Amino acid sequence: MGGSPWYNFFRFRNLTRSSLVGLAFLTLFGIRLSKGSIFLDTYAFLSRPFWPGSAQSEWIIKGVQFEQEARLKLLEEDNLRLRKLLSIQESSGKDYIAAAVISRKESGWWQQILLNKGAFEGIGPGNLVTGPGGLVGIVQSVTPTTSLVRLTTAPGSRIGVWISRTKTHAILLGIGTNRPLLRFLDKNPDVKSGDFVSTSPASTLTPPNIPVGVIQSINTESLNAATGLLQLTAAPQAIDWVQVKTK
């Protein structure tokens, strides 16, 4: 009466398949309506035992505090930089032009910088460039709106300097690092570490007595004359604004 066993088996299998298809359809329809929230709720329920405890919460709070302190420090440093910039602009006379550093190449970090002002503002090749602390370099070439500055640290850069304390003259040579080389004219010059160095009155490239740096070390073992390394007072790597002396 109920049909053959095979008939009942196939009928049950078809009903089961239809039920599974219907269940899958309803599941997909429910996911679409809830926009996946059911999965998020399920994940949250299963992952609850692994949520941060008191120790992890303390780490998170400390991390947030550290981020806030770092942001405050950066804001203070930026505020100080802007104050220095304002001071530079206010102190710029008719013979000085304040300009921003707008570009420098990583491969030539110690060689040159590009300024945002050029011939239209009266800047020309050979003009002296200074920054907070002293000498930065000399303008090498200009366009109507930009200036390329050769830094004192650039290989081949040569500037006459002296130690005013003893009236000892030397040549400042760029060697491609943040410590340019001093080549003294004497084998045993009357200088020492810590002596202040400025541009020489005998130099034809720069005005006299512009701050350059402080002697870091001296080597008297050279064959012809003593040499030394100079710590610049205007660190090229930290300068983003300069003054260009146009006369």
**CATH number for the domain including 214?**
2.40.10.340
Q: Residue 137's pLDDT is what?
A: 94
Evaluate whether 99 touches 242 at the Cβ level (below 8 Å): yes
Structural domain of 44: 5-50
Which residues, 6+ apart, have CB-to-CB distance to 74 below 8 Å?
Answer: none
Range of 29-43, 72-86, 92-106, 122-136 with top mean pLDDT: 122-136
Is 113 found in the same domain as 40? no
What is the CA 121 to chain-centroid distance, rounded? 27
Amino acid identity, residue 115? L
Task: With respect to residue 90, please indicate whether it lies within any of the assigned structural domains.
Answer: no
Q: Model confidence over 190-209: pLDDT tens digits?
A: 899 999 999 998 888 888 88
Q: Whole-model pTM?
A: 0.63
pLDDT band at 223 (very low <50, low <70, confident <90, very high): confident
Structure tokens given for 187:
């084998």
Is 133 found in the same domain as 39? no
Burial of 169 (0-12, 13-18, 19+ CB in 10 A): middle
Examine the pLDDT at 143 and tell me if it is beyond 70.
Answer: yes
Number of domains in the chain: 2
For residue 17, the surrounding DSSP H or E stretch is helix 5-34
Task: With respect to residue 71, please indicate whether it lies within any of the assigned structural domains.
Answer: no
On average, the pLDDT of the chain sits at 78
Is 247 found in the same domain as 148? yes
Q: What percent of the chain has pLDDT over 70?
A: 62
Task: With respect to residue 68, please indicate whether it lies within any of the assigned structural domains.
Answer: no
pLDDT band at 1 (very low <50, low <70, confident <90, very high): very low
Evaluate whether 136 touches 167 at the Cβ level (below 8 Å): no
- The last residue of one of the domains, among 50, 68, 84, is 50
For residue 60, the surrounding DSSP H or E stretch is helix 54-91
Is 31 found in the same domain as 134? no
Q: Residue 238's pLDDT is what?
A: 77
Is 247 found in the same domain as 133? yes
Structure tokens given for 134:
């002293």
